Amino acid sequence: MKGYVYRYEQLANKPVKFLLFIKKTPVPKAIELPDNIKSNFNTEISIRDILDVLVEIKITEAGNRQLRNEHLLRLLKGAILNTKHVYVTNLYHGGHISFVTSDRLWVSDGRSLILTNSKGNNLHRLFDVSKYFGVHVYSKQCRRVDYVDEDWNINKLSADNTTKSTLIKRKELWEPWCICHSASTGDLLVLMRYDSDNATIPLSDVKVIRYNSTLQPTQTIQNHKTGTLLYSEPIYITENRNGDIVVSDSINGVVVTDRKGKYRFTYRGPPEEFLLEFLMPHGICVDAFLNILICSRSDHRIHMIHKDGHLLSILSTKEAGVIEPLGLGYDEKIHLVLMGSGHNNILRVYKFIERQDYLA
């Protein structure tokens, strides 16, 4: 790999020769796996990706070349390798995933919420869970799982999984559709939707409410600066490490605002494919480099986008035997991504960041 990067540095100011070098030279593997595990590259590296990185090269006065980001290095490392899968007992499909530890996680399927381990064994199971998708989150600070129940209340389960209590009770016709915790503040972010079907005056409102540690609402995010609604059909919500709030919306795409609620961008898929097939985002997560990973049900792929919204890579899940990718979970300690399918109880395990990459 060092030789590969050195060759890149030598040709960085000669794009044509560099592209020929990329085309003719096999990409070295980023992760050495045991012989009994088959590894298949699932990353589509396009010429456009390479060109996007080449224009990011900064030439200093002394003639030294410096990369302003690590896009190319991670593209060259092959990004994601399929390593193994986990069969979760009693799971209908992998709708949403929350890591407890690297060996334990909560996963929901629209029927129940299951605490499972890396072998797929059921350690605990809740049945009073909302049938929608991003309805639970594990709080590492409080060592408990919070979830939306079937009556649209937000409950908490004690660390020993024995006691349930209500955190936030449903108010009027506002229904919490998805929740997450802020990694930086510990605040609870709740995406609410108004039940217009049962309202006297029909509304079509969706908003994000931030609750502090005492469960007091401190922020509401609802409209663009033009007055138009930011969200229509929210499915999942998460917070990036820079404070950005990321929402997957089945109608609007992936909508990103900053920590103050100011609109930043919307991702609806690759520009060249937008008119052909609209992105249907579902599960989302963020990695250690602030990149956003998105499950797309419309094309059976995972889209990796930069924190500022431009596309970095697209991973085909069909090659890994996954039709309709649904839920995503990210383990920040060992940098694993788990992906759930809308068709079975199999969770696919991916590893695409080595510890030395993160520390660098």
pLDDT at 20: 57
pLDDT band at residue 299 using 50, 70 and 90 as cut-offs: confident
Paired with 50 in beta bridges are none
pLDDT band at residue 187 using 50, 70 and 90 as cut-offs: very high
Is a pLDDT exceeding 70 seen at residue 184? yes
Per mean pLDDT, which of 92-96, 209-213, 270-274, 311-315 is the most reliable?
209-213
Cα separations in angstroms, 340 against 61, 147, 280: 49, 18, 16
Q: What is the pLDDT of residues 252-262, one digit of tens each?
A: 899 999 999 99
pLDDT band at residue 246 using 50, 70 and 90 as cut-offs: very high
pLDDT band at residue 176 using 50, 70 and 90 as cut-offs: very high
Element (H, E) at 5: helix 2-11
Least confident of 2-11, 98-107, 285-294, 346-355: 2-11
pLDDT at 194: 87
How big is the chain, counted in residues? 360
Domains defined for the chain, CATH in brackets: 2-76 (no CATH), 84-359 (2.120.10.30)
pLDDT at 278: 65
Question: What is the mean predicted confidence (pLDDT) over 102-125?
Answer: 94
Question: What is the mean predicted confidence (pLDDT) over 94-106?
Answer: 93
Contacts 24+ apart (CB under 8 A), 351-355: 351/31, 351/80, 351/81, 351/83, 352/30, 352/74, 352/78, 352/79, 352/80, 352/81, 352/287, 353/287, 353/288, 353/289, 354/30, 354/31
Q: What is the pLDDT of residues 310-339, one digit of tens each?
A: 998 888 777 666 778 889 999 988 888 888
The conformation of residue 197, written as its DSSP 8-state character, comes to G
Q: What is the pLDDT of residues 13-43, one digit of tens each?
A: 555 555 555 555 555 444 443 444 333 334 4
Name residue, tokens 């012989």. Answer: 35
